[in-house]
Structure 1
């Protein structure tokens, strides 16, 4: 057994996973663990999974346990296209109303609370529920959905007010919003340096291959399994960002500071980046 990789079955993270040399990794002892974001957060925190695309909130909450893999994330500069607040009434009228929150998320749940409380100056009553739009709206004026649940709900509910959290964050702050960071538990990084280097390179190769293909092959696979038009998925991936830039770090620092001010986390440590192996160490890294 080598590294245990947490894999979220959401389309927004697929560019880093779809072109992995999965058979070779499995033959080398790597293991993949499927999970929704909230499950992956718990498994990472418990040490049941070594690395994965964890929520930015989970990183902020337990930053001392993790190191961030450079240049990998799921983020947007503006609209994200898969994190929506659906509401029967305008968002400005939600003060004191019930808002149902998906149980699948951590980053987006706290992002919504911050936006509503600090940006709109309104204070709804929140409750967590399984992600099902119809059931969530039975006793609430609005609900938050993420990932593929949010995408499919946006196709089917034109009568609802729909707010993209990436757009709201960018309009308010002017910074990208980073929803997931590729992080590794520090003890796993120390124990498996060569395996981690191999996986790190494989994630980047997968991302680059999809970008160079302009997501055409990936888009076709997703369209066949999940529906939607080719144009929708092409636009969706073009809006997402998968690289960490200086502005991403500034946006994360602001998000973390707001989480702290609102009492959702203790003080988060500065983001600690994992350091790839030097060239003189790379001879041991081999995927064949």
Structure 2
């Protein structure tokens, strides 16, 4: 029997969950969300952070840990549409290939804003703005791109600008909050229903999360150094996340399902 395999995206926002994880009886696999989603559904992973869009589309096949999420109430800072024209005037938008959730959320929000641009999946960063009206970046790419535009780090995160050198920055989580007044859940811990993870693995994840949040400053400094951004920016970025799938987050996940025309019938991990 192969060892259990647990999937994590290679992004700074999951560092508090994985930095102090001590793999005993299981191995950790890092891959972009779209890859992790596919491997989970194929049975190549036993437990994974799965994008909320993938989970909602395949929830009849997947179980859910009841107390884990990667969610935000308000700005997320790492799911950004960088654009040069007003949202309603967008004609051509470059999409990340890493996250189906962010793409689905963008299309939903832009349609409601009256925009129906042509979407093109491609690789690249802000240089794509030379041929597109907007580019969607997520995760570490979005953080680095935003940090590179900042002339300085303001004293308070409330002063972080959304217009920089002719580039507008639309935070999709902020747009979702204005629409619903709810958190947006970007990822959940999911497993195939017929193969729930053993309790010691779930307990190891909980211990790692507890230690990661208790030592968030240390985690932030490490991730800031890895990405080459200011530690204060990374610290604020990480403390903004909600990692426990509390009731507001569940309501946000249900609202996303409803907006997509999908049911919400979660099967939670049996404690």
Q: TM-score, length-normalised on structure 1?
A: 0.85
Against the structure 1 CA distance between its residues 47 and 268, is the aligned structure 2 distance closer, same or farther, given a 3 Å change threshold?
farther
Give, in whole Å, the separation in 2 of the partners of 1:37 and 1:133. 21
Aligned partner of 1:273 among 250, 264, 268: 268
Residue ranges of structure 2 left out of the alignment (5+ in a row): 150-163
SS at match of 2:194: helix
Give the 4+ runs in structure 1 shifted more than 3 A: none
Work out which of the two has the higher radius of gyration on C-alpha atoms and give 1 or 2. Answer: 1
**Mapped contact 2:21–2:205 kept (Cα < 8 A):** yes
**Aligned partners of 2:79 and 2:136 also within 8 Å:** yes
Cross-structure match for 1:100: 94
Please show how residues 155-166 of structure 1 align to structure 2 within 5 Å.
155-157=147-149, 158-159=164-165, 160-166=167-173
- The answer to whether residue 192 in structure 2 is matched with residue 185 in structure 1 is yes
Contact 2:185 2:253 in 1 (8 A): yes
Q: What is aligned with 1:2?
A: 3
1:86 aligns with 2:82: yes
Aligned counterpart in structure 2 of residue 200 of structure 1, from 197, 202, 212: 202
Q: Which runs of 5+ in 1 are unaligned?
A: 261-266, 277-288
Q: How far apart are the structure 1 equivalents of 2:124 and 2:268?
A: 33
1:121 paired with 2:94, answer no
2:135 alignment partner in structure 1: 143
SS at match of 2:195: helix
Q: Give secondary structure in 2 for the equivalent of 1:243.
A: coil
Residue 248 of structure 2 corresponds to which residue in structure 1?
Answer: 247
Q: Rate the CA distance shift 1:33–1:212 in 2: closer, same or farther, 3 A.
A: closer
Q: If the length of structure 2 is used for normalisation, what is the TM-score? A: 0.90
Mapped contact 1:3–1:188 kept (Cα < 8 A): no
CA contact (8 A) 2:257 2:264 kept: no
Shift of 1:63: 0.6
Offset from partner CA, 1:12-50 (integer Å, 9 cap, x none): 11111111113xx2xx2x122221011111111211112
* Aligned-pair Cα RMSD in Å: 1.4
Instruction: Measure the CA separation in 1 of the matches of 2:270 and 2:126.
Output: 42
1:132 positional shift? 2.6
| Aligned-residue offset at 1:145 | 0.5
Q: CA deviation at 1:147?
A: 0.1
> Secondary structure at 1:137's aligned position in 2?
helix
Q: Per residue, is there more helix in 1 or in 2?
A: 1
Deviation at 1:170, TM superposition (A): 0.3
Q: Does the CA-based 8 Å contact 2:8-2:48 persist in structure 1?
A: yes
Quote the residue 1:256 is aligned against: 257
